[in-house]
């Protein structure tokens, strides 16, 4: 059982850099948790605290039912894979993978068996006699992964393991890694600033900002229901659209005025806001039509980008811009008028004073 529990974990560098600030997070046994956030938000530091490479200034780290806060890394039953492959250039693939086992004085036949089995798993069996210089980047990274998992750790920690690979290799290795970790069923923490990687790999994603976890949920949850404008714009490509408008209340109904346009606002939302609000809607949740419609927002096409599987339109409503995803046969021309209907059940409402979601409940 390797549940990881972080309780009030804080790490301060120097006198004022709060790299990790009061983080509470529980990672279930066998769960794949991604720490996602912009550069400098504290992901690596948090992972290094779990590994025992940094000592927290506050809080504690539990692995299973053991408090490991004061234990050195080697007594935590963890293995790490870093961004740089960190393989030994003077050792063969076999010896690289076997390194940790040899240090642990594991008997030779057992080393042979475990290295063989892991090499099979990461598809390195044909390369065991080669040296790292004779391998591709992807193969080298597989050596690093193999070296970690051969130790049969209770917890696997990975810090941007794909970021040194080129785009195609990254895509292939991502799927391989997902399959591998699902087979291993090892509790895993994976650090990345790449939101696509996070969505693709994680059972859950913890989104970090300035040392804090600002939202934690399944990939679809954080994508569909961001609690803040920050999460909505950090996850998704293009980012979620945010359109600001004035709240109008008349005859018991509420509407948002965006330039000359109006959109209905649920009464329960309006009741929680003052004069302004922000509509959050994803590009694929806006229905576009070239035909004038009274129940839709009128906009003007600015840019048309054919992206193979769909068109990405940039359109303006008043002085604000929106991204809209349409089918490739949509008749879009720059400067042409267009009418937009956001799918009502996909709209998220935000309070511009705080940047946080206003929910119906
Ligand atoms: P990146 O994606 O760029 O690796 P990150 O989210 O992993 O970023 P961290 O490396 O955890 O961020 O850094 C968090 C903050 O702590 C940053 O402001 C960083 O400059 C600071 N920091 C990290 N390590 C140290 C250190 N050893 N000494 C001083 N400050 C540090």
- Looking at the chain, how many residues does it have? 361
Structure tokens at 300: 């003007």
State the pLDDT at residue 56.
Answer: 97
Structure tokens at 230: 């920050």
List residues near ligand 1 (CB under 6 A).
13, 17, 19, 37, 39-45, 193
Nearest by Cα to 125 from 146, 111, 106? 146
State the pLDDT at residue 8.
Answer: 97
State the pLDDT at residue 16.
Answer: 85
* pLDDT, tens digit (0-9, with 9 covering 90-100), for 155-181: 999 998 887 777 777 787 788 888 888
Residue 336 pLDDT more than 80? yes
CB contact at 8 A, 290 and 304 = no
The three-class DSSP label of residue 73 is helix
Point out which residues pair with 209 in neighbouring strands.
Answer: 212
* pLDDT, tens digit (0-9, with 9 covering 90-100), for 17-35: 999 999 999 999 999 999 9
Residue 85 pLDDT more than 70? no
Residue 249 pLDDT more than 70? yes
- Please name the residue whose Cα sits nearest to atom 29 of ligand 1: 13
Distance of CA 116 to the CA centre of its chain: 33
Ligand 1 centre distance from Cα of residue 208 (Å): 13
Q: What is the mean pLDDT of residues 317-331?
A: 94
Ligand 1 centre distance from Cα of residue 212 (Å): 13
Residue 326 pLDDT more than 90? yes
* pLDDT, tens digit (0-9, with 9 covering 90-100), for 196-220: 999 999 999 999 999 999 999 999 9
Indicate the pTM of the whole model: 0.90
Set out the domains of the chain in order of their start, with CATH numbers. 4-228 (3.40.50.300), 241-358 (2.40.50.140)
Q: Among the atoms of ligand 1, which is closest to the Cα of residue 193?
A: 2
Ligand 1 centre distance from Cα of residue 19 (Å): 6
How does residue 318 score in pLDDT terms, banded at 50, 70 and 90?
A: confident
Residue labelled with tokens 């200034």: 57
Peptide bond into 190 cis (omega under 30): no
* Residue-wise DSSP of 315-354: EEETTEEEEEEE-TT----TT-EEEEEE-GGG-EEEETTT
Q: Among the atoms of ligand 1, which is closest to the Cα of residue 45?
A: 11
Structure tokens at 231: 């999460």
Ligand 1 centre distance from Cα of residue 210 (Å): 10
Q: How far apart are CA 9 and CA 25, in angstroms?
A: 9
Q: What residues contact residue 259 under an 8 Å CB cut-off, 6+ apart?
A: 317, 318, 319, 320
Q: What is the mean pLDDT of residues 98-127?
A: 90
CB contact at 8 A, 338 and 332 = yes
Helices (H), 11-92: 43-51
């Amino acid at each position: 059982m390797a549940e990881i529990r972080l309780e009030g974990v804080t790490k301060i560098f120097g006198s004022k850099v709060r790299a990790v600030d009061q983080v509470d997070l529980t990672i279930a046994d066998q769960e794949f948790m991604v720490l996602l956030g912009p550069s400098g938000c504290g992901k690596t530091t948090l992972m290094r605290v779990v590994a025992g490479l940094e000592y927290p200034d506050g809080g504690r780290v539990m692995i299973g039912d053991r408090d490991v806060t004061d234990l050195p890394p080697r007594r935590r039953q963890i293995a790490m894979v870093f961004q740089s492959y960190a393989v030994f250039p003077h050792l063969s693939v076999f010896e690289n993978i076997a390194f940790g086992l040899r240090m642990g004085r594991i008997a030779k036949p057992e080393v042979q068996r475990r290295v063989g089995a892991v090499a099979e798993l990461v598809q390195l069996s044909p390369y065991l006699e080669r040296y790292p210089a004779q391998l591709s980047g992807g193969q080298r990274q597989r050596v690093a992964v193999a070296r970690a998992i051969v130790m049969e750790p209770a917890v696997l920690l990975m810090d941007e393991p794909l970021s040194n690979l080129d785009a195609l290799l990254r895509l292939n290795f991502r799927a391989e890694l997902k399959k591998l970790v699902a087979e291993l069923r090892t509790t895993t923490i994976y650090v990345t600033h790449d939101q696509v990687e996070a969505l693709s790999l994680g059972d859950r994603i913890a989104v970090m900002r300035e040392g804090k976890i600002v939202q934690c949920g399944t990939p679809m949850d954080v994508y569909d229901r961001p609690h803040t404008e920050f999460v909505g714009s950090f996850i998704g490509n293009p980012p979620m659209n945010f359109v600001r408008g004035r709240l109008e209340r008349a005859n018991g109904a509420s509407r948002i005025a965006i330039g000359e346009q109006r959109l209905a606002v649920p009464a329960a939302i309006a009741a929680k806001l003052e004069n302004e609000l922000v509509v959050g809607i994803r590009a694929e949740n806006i229905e576009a039509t070239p035909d004038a419609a009274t129940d839709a927002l009128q906009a003007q096409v600015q840019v048309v980008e054919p992206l193979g599987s769909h068109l990405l339109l940039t359109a303006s409503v008043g002085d604000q811009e929106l991204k809209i995803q349409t089918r490739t046969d949509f008749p879009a021309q720059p400067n042409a008028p267009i009418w937009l209907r956001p799918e009502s059940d996909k709209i998220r409402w935000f309070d511009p004073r705080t940047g946080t979601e206003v929910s119906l409940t």
